[in-house]
Amino acid sequence: MLYIIGLGLADAKDVSIRGNEIIRKCEKVYLEAYTSILLIPIEELKSFYERDDIIEADRTLVEQQAERILDDAEKSDTAFLVVGDALSATTHTDLIIRAMDRKIPFKVIHNASIMNAIGCTGLQLYRFGETVSIVFWEDSWKPVSFFEKIVKNRVNNFHTLCLLDIKMKEQSVENMMKNNNIFEPPRWMTCQVCCEQFLEILTQGNEDFQAAGITPDTKIIGVSKVGSDRQKMVYATIAEHAKENLLGEPLHSLVIPAEELHELELEFLDHFKLDN
């Protein structure tokens, strides 16, 4: 049996009682460690679940060596742990498809993810449009296609949740070309870096972007460590977020709200203005 288990957002105790019971009884336990991360070291997970054999599954293992996980699940109960909800990334759906193709039974244990916990901003969840992922720009690669989705949401008076890039166990182009098994240090995009990229996009003079009413003075909501005791939220302009890191240490996400806000949404956000 393959169990895909959501761990929640913050620490070991966010797992459901059912999920905890399954993790403790499984023969093999894998922790997906690249689409998101918990705010605690893996040692705390091992201590809480009382098992020292949790296997960290990086992108290579999950996407290119998934048969290893399925081989284990074919022989005995195997848990695949996911930060947030069990199906918060398409990679995990792919794992289920592979399991079904091999006639391996599976069960999904759901949990909270940033997709629903973003309600902490006071914005109404049913008013969110398509979620977008913001990647780190490189010197020769500066994609802006995600901004078109933000504009589309804005035109339709929808909020946009922006998920910020996480770089875990990434290789430089040079090391990839030389086949060197050397990895770059982990990086997590901050709201400040994201807004710096936004400002550069806005200076390009794209008429569609301007028509959506998004300017450096557009107010956005930056959040960090959602679901933890250290959760922080700041309602400020793109320019203000770009000027300095207002949220502290990652993990960060941000929301570009709809142009027209409900009075209750505005009243809630007033408590998180920068001058507060």
Tens digits of per-residue pLDDT, 114-146? 999 999 999 999 999 999 999 999 888 888 888
Integer Cα distance of 108 and 111 in angstroms: 10
In terms of pTM, does the model score above 0.75?
Answer: yes
Q: Indicate the fold that domain 2-112 takes in CATH.
A: Cobalt-precorrin-4 Transmethylase; domain 1 (3.40.1010)
Q: How confident is the model at residue 62 (pLDDT cuts 50, 70, 90)?
A: confident
Pick the residue with more confidence: 116 or 59?
116
Closest CA to 272 of 245, 238, 236, 242: 236
pLDDT of residue 108: 97
Residues 174-178: what's their mean pLDDT? 58
Integer Cα distance of 183 and 169 in angstroms: 5
How much of the chain exceeds pLDDT 70, in percent? 91
pLDDT at 65 over 80: yes
Q: How confident is the model at residue 109 (pLDDT cuts 50, 70, 90)?
A: very high
What would the DSSP string read from start to end of 221-242? EEEESTTSTT-EEEEEEHHHHH
Closest CA to 146 of 129, 125, 162: 162
Domain range summary for the chain, segments of one domain joined by +: 2-112, 115-270
Residues 215-222: what's their mean pLDDT? 95
Q: How confident is the model at residue 173 (pLDDT cuts 50, 70, 90)?
A: low
Classify domain 115-270 by CATH architecture: 2-Layer Sandwich (3.30)
Is there a common fold for 2-112 and 115-270? no
pLDDT of residue 185: 67
pLDDT at 250 over 80: yes
Residues 11-33: what's their mean pLDDT? 94
pLDDT at 210 over 80: no
pLDDT of residue 186: 72
Residues 68-83: what's their mean pLDDT? 96
Q: How big is the CA angle at 85 (ends 35 and 191), to the nearest 5 degrees?
A: 50
pLDDT of residue 131: 96
- Report the range of poorest mean pLDDT among 68-77, 80-89, 206-215: 206-215
Pick the residue with more confidence: 10 or 17?
17
